[in-house]
Structure 1
């Protein structure tokens, strides 16, 4: 080989090596830029389709007394993800994603409270589902108000420093606080800066109380200095940051799992799932039926968030029917395909009637609540959940 040809090949190898280095450096920079962009949160959240799963798989009946379930009742949820600089464009273009401001989910409070609030909402939804389902079977389930459950706390206040989302305040200086209004009145009777003792339980154990001593803060309202605890409160129909905590005397023991899902929107699904397990197991007539909606102690079904994303999730899971809050039928139908029929319901009774029309067998679930407070009692200030 001639010297000239050898030098030419050497130059070609050097050029190839330089291009390889440039390519590797470019790839490294792209990866680093992506890693940095994925950590830059833009202050919004993306609601994306979650999962749809059989709710009866989350319900256990001790003693082996549960029926074998035919068909499926699907519980569904929504994925909540922070919008980052990396995901922003995809989130804007995706037809199954809804971008919402953080304040729409957190109410302007720290996002760290979002998960805790969702867990409390789920615990309350499951507790209510047990009471409503057992009442629907004709069993008496007496209820009494035992305190105020906290859904949110304001940073920098005494409540934020000493209490937690999910705590249940039963009394203040020995005075029972069995409703948000009662707690507000008890605080207002105190002096700004006064030291008080709260008796506090939890949603799981509302009557297992511990004393918490704290010093009330100060706030200026209409030119007056008033005592401050630090729980958001709306004097209208719903108390935004708190609600009355019920204690039910349940005649049967059930074990409900949440599978990491938060929020109150699975209330109706858990109610129907419990009935399916205890009333013969053929509530759906062997079909795949998805369900979403909150449940109140009187059996009323309430609205939920993220319904378009939930509709996508249940379609992917193969549901033929989707029971949703009546006021939100249009939201589901706007994204549903022909294979999914959307049914709007306002109450548990209506949901059961619809399932019967679809071929389901209600069995003992057709009994309905017994008369009197043990079948219809509703806590004094039952909250509309801050986060659904």
Structure 2
């Protein structure tokens, strides 16, 4: 066999071996890419995303799009070729697998966590929107979870409204822990509660829950190394619950959007609710997209995957992107052409910026910078 032919054959075999290795060798990375955007003022799968009943609403045009990110599953393992392609591509990001699924979290666990965060973000979006419109929202402290095998099991239930502990009114979730831990383990503590079913019926009727019944629970000693939502620690008294908050809205607001998780749509849901509850267009017919968590007070928080959300928004046609203040630097470092970033810290910031966008007076919009 001629030497040149042998060399070519050897090279081909090496190339084939490298190709096989590239396909077969898995690397501990995952991929993020732009996901779909959804107009909170429009429909999804044939029904309105925001459904409000019991209160006058107004037509809304334009776009207030929430944005999403697609990620590879927890069980999916990229090969070398996929990782290199992802690193080189502009419309995707390759990150360590543990970034998306820390501590060996399964896809099922991640999905459940995202669903819970999405549900909470909807509640906070409603509260923030109504507070911005000066519409009263009743807030109460509730039993969030009951620890299995704890003194509270079968006595308190998730959703029970906690009115008082030992006769002292409860105003914040943290009050419950402070009042319980005044006791020594083995002592009785008395909760004044409204059962979850009664509270749910009141919420459905659009009124604050009333009444109450007393439940006495014998406290136990907290585990030495961990708490259970109350102040844990050696010789501290606990009953085995986690306290949280719930809200009673004066009318019904439903957010209908399937297959979406996480807390990052909160800001855009709030703006969509505000738009539907006020005369005129918040957008002025403009295409605005954005992202950001939101709390009950209307504070906008940072999110992950900002660069992918920018790409998804621009591909969908957005011209303006409402950007959480803490994400501004990374967003400004890689902004798609034709997309204007608008920095927001609160829901009030966002509504003021929307007024500037609506009227076309955009020179003074708060912007993002890399510094």
TM-score class, shorter-chain normalisation, is: 0.5 to 0.7
Question: 1:261 offset after TM fit, Å?
Answer: 1.4
Question: 1:227 offset after TM fit, Å?
Answer: 7.0
SS in 2 for 1:124: helix
Aligned to 1:56: 41
CA distance in 2, matches of 1:193, 1:47: 51
2:301 paired with 1:302: yes
Question: 1:289 offset after TM fit, Å?
Answer: 0.4
Aligned to 1:144: 139
Pairing of 1:151-170 with structure 2 (within 5 A): 158=149, 167-168=158-159, 170=161
Alignment equivalent of 1:72, drawn from 63, 82, 92: 63
CA distance in 1, matches of 2:342, 2:174: 37
Alignment equivalent of 1:99, drawn from 95, 101, 107: 95
1:245-287, CA deviations, whole angstroms, 9 ceiling, x for partnerless residues?
1323x33322211322122211110111112222235211211
2:32 paired with 1:47: yes
Q: 1:148/1:303 Cα in 2 relative to 1: closer, same or farther (>3 Å)?
A: farther
Aligned to 1:247: 247
Question: 1:101 offset after TM fit, Å?
Answer: 4.5
- Tell me the C-alpha RMSD between the 2 structures: 4.6
Checking the alignment, whether the CA contact within 8 Å between 1:147 and 1:170 is kept in structure 2 is yes
Checking the alignment, whether the CA contact within 8 Å between 1:216 and 1:227 is kept in structure 2 is yes
Question: 1:358 offset after TM fit, Å?
Answer: 1.5
Question: 1:298 offset after TM fit, Å?
Answer: 2.2
Question: 1:60 offset after TM fit, Å?
Answer: 1.6
Give structure 2 stretches of 5+ with no counterpart: 1-19, 43-48, 204-208, 227-232, 361-371
CA distance in 1, matches of 2:289, 2:190: 46
Question: 1:172 offset after TM fit, Å?
Answer: 12
1:108-166, CA deviations, whole angstroms, 9 ceiling, x for partnerless residues?
77664432332222222222222322333343x1433322546xx99xx758xx89xx9
Alignment equivalent of 2:120, drawn from 94, 99, 124: 124
1:47-88, CA deviations, whole angstroms, 9 ceiling, x for partnerless residues?
332111101231123379433322111011222333556524
Could you tell me the TM-score, scaled by structure 2's length? Answer: 0.64
CA distance in 2, matches of 1:116, 1:168: 19
Aligned to 1:133: 129
SS in 1 for 2:33: strand
Aligned to 2:12: none
Greater relative contact order: 1 or 2 (C-alpha under 8 angstroms, separation 6 or more)? 1
Aligned to 2:16: none
Q: 1:145/1:45 Cα in 2 relative to 1: closer, same or farther (>3 Å)?
A: farther
Q: 1:253/1:47 Cα in 2 relative to 1: closer, same or farther (>3 Å)?
A: same
Q: How many residues align?
A: 305
Could you tell me the TM-score, scaled by structure 1's length? Answer: 0.62
Give structure 1 stretches of 5+ with no counterpart: 1-29, 232-241, 362-388
Checking the alignment, whether the CA contact within 8 Å between 2:173 and 2:245 is kept in structure 1 is no
CA distance in 2, matches of 1:87, 1:104: 14
